[in-house]
Amino acid sequence: MSTDTKDTPSVSPEDVELAETFKNEANEYFKKQSYNAAIELYTKAIEKNPNVPVYYSNRSFAYLKTECFGYALNDATKSIELDPTYVKGFYRRADAHMSMGKWKLAQKDYEYVTKVRPNDKDAKLKLNECSKVVKKLAFEKAISVEDKKKFIADTINLDAMTIEDNYSGPQLEDGKVTEQFMKELMQLYKDQGTLHRKFAFKILLDIKKYFMAQPSLVDVTIPDKEKFTVCGDIHGQFYDLMNIFELNGLPSKTNPYLFNGDFVDRGSFSVECIFTLFGYKLLYPDHFYMSRGNHESATMNQMYGFDGEVKFKYNAQMAELFTEVYNWLPLAHCLNKRVLVMHGGLFSRDDVTLDEIRTIERNRQPPDEGPMCELLWSDPQPQDGRAPSKRGVGCQFGPDVTHAFIKLNKLDYIIRSHEVKDSGYEVAHEGRCITVFSAPNYCDTMGNKGAFINLTGESMVPKYIVYDAVPHPDVRPMMYSTNSLMYRLC
């Protein structure tokens, strides 16, 4: 380890020893997947001895596990500053860049890792993945001509798709989704069957046409006595989605739902989740709503499993079609002109209005900044003001920002998702900012509850229903992902 002692603070032998104790305790918590506890202990180690690259690298790893990619990047960079030859610092920084979709920067760091450690198979795998994506993006940029772009949806020929005699799954009736079709589809998925590609493509083509006609901000009217349910992230946990319907009833004209983004990725039953949700959207278009999440994007899908899952269960053509469909998902919903629901959160500016959200041109991949980015990526913080995002994208916003926004737009409160919460939900900012997360025991590791929110149109007072994870077939999360984040601790 090479550090410049002139630039590092002196540390007493007692603090050196205590820092090592904190680090070792943190490692044990990390191994038990108690990542937040590990982060707290790594932080204590750093406070006692800020000169050790390993402490920052290990905390970076824990931040990666909790999806705080911005914090992970900062820690990895700090470890490299302390020791410019520290290979695990480059590895962590590469993982952080890759997780944020910064492929060229990740590629550069993985190149360093593989040069120093030529036998590191995981680093080679990730370097190859980054190189492929960088080449693909360069090729697409070179050949792109916007006014001549041909959409995948325009190339689909449903008539050429034959239904094999041995297919026994559900079939659309006159090309339409019916209540019976949905019941048969969910049973098919529970039995680990696959919907025929012809019907899958038809659902995607129909849903794309529907979403294209929708505004970026959808206004929803809830009658006074009617129940309305808001669900947070599902993340490919199909059997937990089925449990929501068991607890709260199937979607219907008298039992409307809003699913608030991140339907896919992480969990390895994302295909089953998204076709169930899209099917209900087509069946009850005015009583079933879906908002875009940050994981409804090409970069996230490539990183966290959905792209690989679609290619495994169907083909690459369908994976590209999903990207086209996701580009048209609404960005937010306003319930009874009183509650704004978005996946991420609020903005880096104080003057954003509902009318501005309505005018966002959303038919694109999420940008790195601006209102569309922040709707998908931002997070609340307990202190007033704003701060750079722990994720490296969007911003963090305090209670004063929330209060100013709801006052400007004459709202009661906001509902957002996007973050794992131990209880499945969290009420913050004096009740004005509610987080709901509906994927219990996220990634089969986090041990959190799931939750959804019931409202009635008259009061709009949230009622929280909390539940545990249910068993699922023995298919691990991230089964189809190329991003393993496997490098061990020190």
Separation between Cα atoms, residue 416 and residue 394, nearest integer Å: 14
Torsion of CA 363, 368, 374, 375, to 10 degrees: 20
Separation between Cα atoms, residue 71 and residue 87, nearest integer Å: 19
Contacts of 471 (CB under 8 A, 6+ apart): 239
- 295 is an active site residue: yes
Identify the residue whose tokens are 């601006």. 370
Q: What is the DSSP letter of 252?
A: B
Buried b (16+ CB within 10 A) or exposed e, 24-49: ebbbebbeeebbebbbbbbebbbebb
CA distances from 350 to 329, 398, 400 (A): 25, 12, 10
Under a CB-based contact definition with an 8 Å cutoff, are residues 235 and 264 in contact? yes
Under a CB-based contact definition with an 8 Å cutoff, are residues 332 and 341 in contact? yes
Which of 97, 196, 235, 295 is the catalytic position? Answer: 295
Separation between Cα atoms, residue 116 and residue 303, nearest integer Å: 25
Q: Which residues are catalytic?
A: 295
